[in-house]
Homo-oligomer: A and B are copies of this chain.
Amino acid sequence: MTKITDRETRQHNIRVRIESDTDLVSARHAGRMLAEQAGFTSSELTLIATAISELARNIIEYANFGEIHLELVQNGSARGIRIVARDAGPGIGNIEQALRGGFSTSGGLGLGLAGVRHIMDNFDVESNVGAGTCVTVTKWKL
Contacts and interface: CB of A to CB of B under 8 A. Distances in A.
Interface of A: 107, 117-119
A118 B107 CA distance: 4
The copy count of this chain in the complex is 2
A66 to B, nearest CB: 20
Nearest 3 A/B pairs, CB to CB: A107-B118, A107-B117, A107-B119
A107 to B, nearest CB: 3
Contacts of A117: 107
A118 B110 CA distance: 12
Contacts of A119: 107
A117 B103 CA distance: 13
A119 B106 CA distance: 9
A93 to B, nearest CB: 13
Contacts of A107: 117-119
A125 to B, nearest CB: 13
A103 B128 CA distance: 24
A107 B118 CA distance: 4
A104 B50 CA distance: 21
Nearest to A104: B118
A44 to B, nearest CB: 15
Of A107, A118, A119, most B-chain CB atoms within 10 Å: A107
